[in-house]
Amino acid sequence: MLKEPISITALSSISALGSTLDEVWNAYLKEDHYLSEVGIGGKTIWASHMPKSINEEIQQLRQSDIKYKPLDDTVLFAIYAARKAVKDAGWKNESKFGINIGSSRGATTLFEKYHEDFLKEGNAATLSSPTTTLGNISSWVAHDLKSKGPEISHSITCSTALHAVLNGVAWIQSGLTDKFLVGGSEAPLTPFTIAQMQALKVYSIVSSRAQSRDDFPCKAMDLNKTKNTMVLGEAAALACLEKGVDSNALALIEGIGYATEPLEHSVSISTDAKCFQDSMKMALGESEPRDVDAIVLHAPGTIKGDQSEYLAIKKIFGENHPYLTTNKWKVGHTFGASGLLSLEMAVLMLLKQQCIPGPFFKNQEQNNSLKRIMVNAVGFGGNAVSVLLHRPGT
């Protein structure tokens, strides 16, 4: 358990689901997914794209400052979402806050472009290094917001955003700062990134546009599927964290947990995800498993990934486990941003007092009010994170 709760005072995301909490919630209420067939690198694949309206605003941001024109989409996504998060948190004229925004893949678009040019010409472009370093995201957000606190960038693959939450909590608990902006940004819809996932044989190969359950492109939490169905999406998702129980808190962070899986190979995970068992135990702290009302799973849509996390949950919570859900069947796997999108979903469920079901896993009916929700994420390398959220005032 934490020394004292940490308040989440604002959330901001951009993805195929929209750019406001109302848009995102309404998207979750719909039974449709937000994935589409697109052409990337000469191949037709499933993916989740930003809506046209958000893309237009990102381009306006790019053109608003000559320094922003050469930046990768991951940076611009983060700047856009950060401006809104800080505004919603009421951090007006505030500069003493930390920033930790990570990415799994970083500046994929620019890196692939610069490398292609290098292979053709034998020379690297002048801005190839400064615009593709991972530190770009937090440093440019700090520049844009004129913040003067610590700025951190990292990549811990798919658990990147929740590791940013851990870092923010640790800094605040240490007393070195009272506020932290945390999250992740990802723009992975590039030819080489897609090819890497296809090489691992985890990418969805459903070719039909049909909307029947059997033809959903991503079958996250379908424990009976016989093929891997991961689908990638682009997104940025950020949260404003503040010390103690704030009167405007959307939700409270009550517990955090983390663990690393012993690896057999670079993408391995045990049958019952020992890393998740350990991270969930740690996040629970002194709380009883029965105190958790729902869990937002990582559930990437792969056979082993979904099944191992489910088995880990049964190890900790038993057969009478909390309500289980995920958002990846709807919005895809947004890599470094995915954990914060899941946290946003959990907070909205607490605020609206309503669980969001998936199309595959059958839960028992929600009978009780939602007080506590756990959020999971794990990445290549077995870096698992679990965050326990608590509804304020309960």
Write out pLDDT tens, residues 288-343: 999 999 999 999 999 999 999 999 999 999 999 999 999 999 999 999 999 999 99
Residue 210 has pLDDT above 50, yes or no: no
What is the residue whose two structure tokens read 């440019």? 140
| pTM over 0.85, yes/no | yes
Q: Report percent pLDDT > 90 for the chain.
A: 88
Average pLDDT along the chain: 93
pLDDT in tens, 68-117: 999 999 999 999 999 999 999 999 888 899 999 999 999 999 999 999 99
Strand order in the sheet with 372-377: 251-260, 383-390, 372-377, 294-296, 323-325
Closest CA to 60 of 86, 79, 38: 79
Residue 44 has pLDDT above 60, yes or no: yes
Provide the token pair at 228: 């891997």
Residues 6 or more apart in contact with residue 259 via CB below 8 angstroms: 274, 275, 276, 277, 278, 279, 282, 384
Closest CA to 351 of 331, 367, 371, 337: 371
Burial of 47 (0-12, 13-18, 19+ CB in 10 A): buried
pLDDT in tens, 135-185: 899 999 999 999 999 999 999 999 999 999 999 999 999 999 999 999 999
Q: In whole angstroms, what is the distance from residue 177 CA to residue 174 CA?
A: 8
Residue 214 has pLDDT above 70, yes or no: no
The whole-number average pLDDT for the span 182-195 is 97
Helix residue spans in 132-234 (DSSP H): 136-145, 160-174, 191-199
For residue 365, name the pLDDT band (cuts at 50, 70, 90). confident
Report yes or no: 11 and 85 within 8 Å, Cβ to Cβ. yes
Q: In whole angstroms, what is the distance from residue 63 CA to residue 60 CA?
A: 5
